[in-house]
Amino acid sequence: MSGNRVVEYMGPGEVAVNSIDYPKLEIPREVAEWLGVRPAAPHAVILKVVTTNICGSDQHMARGRTTAPVGQSLGHEILGEVVELGSDVLFLKEGDICSVPFNIACGRCRMCFEGKTGICLNVNPARPGAAYGYVDMGGWVGGQAEYVMVPFADFNLLKFPDRDQALEKIMDLTMLSDIFPTGYHGAYTAGVTTGSTVYVAGAGPVGLAAAHAAQLLGASVVIVGDMNTDRLRQAKSFGCETVDLSTGDALPDMIEQILGEPEVDAGVDAVGFEARGHGADAEEAPATVLNDMMTVARVGAGLGIPGLYVTGDPGAVDENAQVGQIGVRLGLGWAKSHSFATGQCPVKKYNRQLMNLILTDKAQIAKAVNATTIPLDEAPASYREFDQGAAKKYVIDPHGMTS
In this structure, the answer to whether residues 59 and 165 fall within a common structural domain is yes
Give a yes or no: residue 403 inside a domain: no
In this structure, the answer to whether residues 190 and 93 fall within a common structural domain is no
Taking only the tens place, the pLDDT of each residue in 161-203 is: 999 999 999 999 999 999 999 999 999 999 999 999 999 999 9
Per-residue confidence band for 214, with pLDDT thresholds at 50, 70 and 90: very high
How much is the average pLDDT of 233-246?
98
In this structure, the answer to whether residues 100 and 193 fall within a common structural domain is no
Between CA 60 and CA 57 the distance in angstroms is 5
In this structure, the answer to whether residues 250 and 167 fall within a common structural domain is no
In this structure, the answer to whether residues 382 and 311 fall within a common structural domain is no
Give a yes or no: residue 280 inside a domain: yes
* Phi/psi of residue 276, nearest 5 degrees: -120, 160
**Would you say residue 318 has pLDDT above 90?**
yes
**pLDDT value of residue 403:** 72
Taking only the tens place, the pLDDT of each residue in 340-362 is: 999 999 999 999 999 999 999 99
In this structure, the answer to whether residues 73 and 169 fall within a common structural domain is yes
The reported pTM is: 0.97
**Would you say residue 119 has pLDDT above 70?**
yes
Structural domain containing residue 244: 179-341
In this structure, the answer to whether residues 39 and 145 fall within a common structural domain is yes
In this structure, the answer to whether residues 139 and 199 fall within a common structural domain is no
- Angle at CA 338, nearest 5°, toward 182 and 280? 65
Q: How many helices (H) and strands (E) does the chain have?
A: 16, 15
In this structure, the answer to whether residues 143 and 45 fall within a common structural domain is yes
The total number of structural domains in the chain stands at: 2
**pLDDT value of residue 1:** 56
In this structure, the answer to whether residues 206 and 310 fall within a common structural domain is yes
Give a yes or no: residue 143 inside a domain: yes
Between CA 55 and CA 392 the distance in angstroms is 11
Give a yes or no: residue 162 inside a domain: yes
Contact 268, 306 (CB under 8 A): yes
Per-residue confidence band for 10, with pLDDT thresholds at 50, 70 and 90: very high
Q: How far is CA 324 from CA 13, 253, 267, 283, 288, in A?
A: 22, 30, 21, 17, 14
CATH (domain of 191): 3.40.50.720
- Produce one character per residue of 34-72: b if its CB has 16 or more CB atoms within 10 Å, e if not: eeeeeeebebbbbbbbbbbbbbbbbbbbbebbbebeeeb
In this structure, the answer to whether residues 160 and 23 fall within a common structural domain is yes
**Would you say residue 212 has pLDDT above 60?**
yes
Q: Which amino acid is at 278?
A: H
In this structure, the answer to whether residues 91 and 168 fall within a common structural domain is yes
**pLDDT value of residue 280:** 86
Is 107 buried (19+), middle (13-18) or exposed (0-12) by CB count in 10 A? middle
Strand partners, 53: 77, 395
DSSP H or E segment with residue 259: helix 251-259
Close Cβ partners of 193 (under 8 Å, ≥ 6 residues apart): 217, 218, 219
Taking only the tens place, the pLDDT of each residue in 247-260 is: 999 999 999 999 99
Taking only the tens place, the pLDDT of each residue in 18-46 is: 999 999 999 999 999 999 999 999 999 99
Taking only the tens place, the pLDDT of each residue in 307-317 is: 999 999 999 99
